[in-house]
Amino acid sequence: MVVIVLSLVYPNLPSLEILTDYRPKMPLQIYTADGYLLGEFGEERRAVVNIQNVPEIMKQAILAAEDERFYQHGGVDTQGVLRAVYANLISGAKRQGASTITQQVAKNFFLSSEKTYTRKLYEALLSFKIESNLSKDQILELYINQIFLGQRAYGFAAASHIYFGKPLNELSLAEVAMLAGLPKAPSAFNPVVNPKRARIRQQYVLHRMLELGFIKQEEHDQALEQVLVVKRDNDAAPVHAEYITEMARQIAAESFPDDVYTRGLRVYTTIRLADQQAAYNSLRQGLMEYDRRHGYRGAEAYVDLADIKSEQDDALDELLQDYQDAEDLHPAIVLQADNRKVRAYRRGGEVVTVSGEGLRFAARMLDDKAPANKRLIRGAVIRIQSDEKNVWRIVQMPEVEGAFLAADPHDGSIRALVGGFDFNRNQFNHATQAWRQPGSSFKPFIYSGALEKGFTPASIIADEPISFPSAVTGSQVWEPKNYDGRYEGPMRMRTALAKSKNMVSIRLLQASGVHFVQDYITRFGFDAKKHPPYLTMALGAGSVTPWQMVSAYAIFANGGYRIRPYIVSEIQDDKKVVLARAEPITAGDENLRAIDPRNAYLMDSMMRDVTIYGTAARASAALKRRDLAGKTGTTNEHVDAWFCGYQQTVVGCSWIGFDQPRNLGRGETGGTAALPTWIAYMAKVLKDVPESFMPAPEGLVAVGSGRSSGGKGPAQELFYKENVPAEIEPETSQEDTPPPED
């Protein structure tokens, strides 16, 4: 009878083509230009590995945990089956199985997980068929790559990265044993979710490895003593690049919509790991410093601790489930608070004590007079942060937002992009999507247009009050003012840009013609419709994005060529065959020229003065170099703060503001709020880059400036050869007057 059943069933078993031509669902992976994984997208997180590259200790741990006689049996371990059948008969239930690794491969690829004798028969027959067609190493390789191990991880190579952040060949014995214990119950023995049960399972695997002679007693004991560091943030990459990763995902999905998350596409971005880390840290530090200047706002929320029995009550973790970590800003529940110390529960069971300097920032909310809805009392949800000495302090999540991005000004490749403080809190990409007024950071484009109209850096323009009647404005009288309310009389155009004089910018725009300048700025990539032809354009009253500003400033940095910023360099399939490749446009092609090279050179010269003695003088002072150029920007009512600037090898833009526009606060200008982020980034990426300056193009003539005593401008001024004046009019303003923090 058994022979008849086998003769009928065996020929109808499924083809093994799915095994011999193994093509697992591979996630979409996003990489930096220098090969670091930024993120992956797909239901299954995988990393396929050849059996030759699996460490021997990993294979031994798997065999010890799952199938010690794998290399001896023919697909079904008869001894194990008899033992399981006996146990099930005694218990009266189908609780115990004896699946070999081959049977698990059969089940994972072809069968359901139901526990019936019929399915077990098919599983056994499939196992025999697999064993007769594939070698033992081939079967083990399929198992190692296909088995589900929790946290969306399929296969041990993926699990190694997800749980421990390292490849298989770097795992310790203790880590290997932890992973090998997962197949039996990926949820129950998950070290992230159930660390205690995972530890018990790990101890079992180590014991079995010792019994089988795979490891020595000393190795066993050392592994038991090792404290494992398990990654809790399983989507964490080597660097925070969530905004750029999402942009790359969208590009890949648009290009390959049908199977973008299953065919193993590898997207290589233009991002550089070191640049991105510098940008992320710099923006984060800048926003935290701004937030700290404006004081502690109090408790983030309150939770009810009435039913909490002890400080180690598991319910405390449940109360924190709606409050996620923002990297090193950890949510915590206040257990006890007075003006000397705060004791707070942090997710995972740790009770933290904050005292001394750690309380200084939040001190006023510990006072009895603090607002009842903000005071730090038992049940308050706060944020805590530890320093390098593991000393805790109370901090808070900034309400303000910001963006920073940097690009190569010669080919447009984006080197770093951070679209906000925390992607998990706010996925709106401020670097590409936030349309904001640029303020004075837009003035270089007004000045560039003025150069085309015959003005020169030595042209004298009045820094004096100006008023426009309603007949001119079409609405009401407009009486613009300088940022600091001071007027210095006639001054050179060069000095006016360095000091960011609003009156001079307005007069330059008026003299150049608003319609001419509105059209002229389109050469830099701006949309004329977002910059109406009114004199307010001189003060940056239009709308731009940081992405646009980087692209526009790159034209000054590269000598006058329009570039096209891009973030994806190429897309490969799972076999590393290139499916798509970017074709960047590179500065130097005269067909891409946006402005006269002489214009770019003069603007570069004037914007270097901004960073040497103008509103951004702290840039050159901090970085101790004179090849930096750029412009600060602060909009009306201190709503937006900007700094956009460059060195010959990199152009960057920093912005800070609130999503719902409001005043940043007294003294919060481009120079104080946005510039520090730019400086911090450039300090990292320019550390080993020598000073370099733009070579002077043909068609410029140098003439002695006759500058006033104490002036900080150049001893000679440059002019278009067709615009050389008969004599240079002396400047009457006092150049030593400190510029405002615009």
Query: Residue 322: phi, psi to the nearest 5?
Result: -90, 0
Q: Which of 44, 66, 123, 131 is catalytic?
A: 66
Sign of the four-CA dihedral 302, 396, 276, 592? positive
Q: How close are the terminal C-alpha atoms of the chain, in Å? A: 93
To 10 degrees, what angle do helices 56-66 and 173-180 make?
A: 40
What's the length of the chain?
742
Beta bridge partners of 489: 463
Cβ atoms of residues 493 and 456 within 8 Å: yes
| CB-count burial class (<10 Å; 0-12, 13-18, 19+) for 547 | buried
Pairwise CA distance, residues 106 & 130, whole Å: 8
Pairwise CA distance, residues 646 & 630, whole Å: 6
Q: Which residues contact 590 (CB under 8 A, 6 or more apart)?
A: none
Which of 673, 683, 670 has the alpha carbon at shortest distance from 621? 683
Structure tokens at 395: 């901090």
Query: Residue 705: phi, psi to the nearest 5?
Result: -85, -20
For residue 226, which amino acid is it? Q
| CB-count burial class (<10 Å; 0-12, 13-18, 19+) for 541 | middle
Q: According to the 3-state scheme, what is the secondary structure of 305-372?
A: CCCCCCCCCCHHHHHCCCCCCECCEEEEEEEEECCCEEEEEECCCEEEEEEHHHHHHHHHHHCCCCCC
Supply the DSSP symbol for 468: B
Q: According to the 3-state scheme, what is the secondary structure of 564-616?
A: CCECEEEEECCCCCEEEECCCCCCCCHHHECCCHHHHHHHHHHHHHHHHCCCC
Pairwise CA distance, residues 661 & 289, whole Å: 19
> What are the CA-CA distances from residue 262 to residues 17, 28, 229, 258, 723 (Å)?
19, 7, 30, 9, 63
Cβ atoms of residues 509 and 517 within 8 Å: yes
Pairwise CA distance, residues 66 & 69, whole Å: 9
Angle at 216 between CA 210 and CA 219, to 5 degrees: 100
Beta bridge partners of 700: 720
CA atoms within 13 A on the CB side of 48: 12
Which of 375, 384, 371 has the alpha carbon at shortest distance from 345? 384
Is 512 part of the annotated catalytic residue set? Answer: no
Sign of the four-CA dihedral 108, 111, 115, 120? negative
Sign of the four-CA dihedral 442, 658, 434, 261? positive
Is 44 part of the annotated catalytic residue set? Answer: no
Q: Which of 413, 440, 605, 733 is catalytic?
A: 440
SS3 262: coil
Which of 331, 321, 327 has the alpha carbon at shortest distance from 235? 327
User: Could you give the residue numbers annotated as active site?
Assistant: 66, 440
